[in-house]
Amino acid sequence: MRAAVAWQAASRGGALVHAASAVHRGGGYLFFGPSGAGKSTLSAANRRARVVSDDLSLVLPGAEGSLELVGSPFRGTYEGGEPVEGRFPLRAGFRLIQADEPAVTEVSRPRVLGELVGNLPFVAEEFKSRPDLFRRVTEAFQAVPLRHLAFAKDERYWDAIEAAGL
């Protein structure tokens, strides 16, 4: 089912991302990285937002073409709170970096986009034979701010995100 959702999302101009996600103040946020990056830790520490997932997050184009975070059954191991339903404008995506102090860092777009692409299960493996998929992902995330997020095992990361204007 996960593979089918990943391919359907890609064909519609969205993505199934190996990422934690949350809804904060009406907007969606992605927190991506490889296994062990801290997606579940970040989700467990969260008290300010509604966690959608700590493992796989679905983003699809909205009516106006911009990406939206979509509530989905892929919650991972997260069991706090009720499942999140609905669609929320995707405000930003962050590559997780474990650190002592929270901070949002702007890095080159190609670098952070490459890190995001590395977290697209099932689909990323086909980019070599399907360059249209890479183009679709690049276009889909074009208007989404992508940054690095240093975080500790607490929810101060939201302060850093807000200080960065995201």
Mean per-residue pLDDT over the chain, rounded: 92
Mean per-residue pLDDT, 86-110: 97
Q: Does domain 2-163 have CATH number 3.30.750?
A: no
Whether the predicted pLDDT of 124 surpasses 80? no
3-state secondary structure of 15: strand
Q: Encode pLDDT of 41-71 as tens digits.
A: 999 999 999 999 999 999 999 988 899 999 9
What global pTM score does this model have?
0.94
Q: Could you tell me the residue ranges of all domains in the chain?
A: 2-163
Helix (H, G, I), strand (E, B) or coil at 160: helix
Token pair for 1: 């089912």
DSSP state of 73: S
Q: What is the DSSP string of 86-151?
A: SEEEEEEEEEEEE-SS-EEE---HHHHHHHHHTT-TTTGGGTTT-HHHHHHHHHHTTTS-EEEEEE
3-state secondary structure of 162: helix
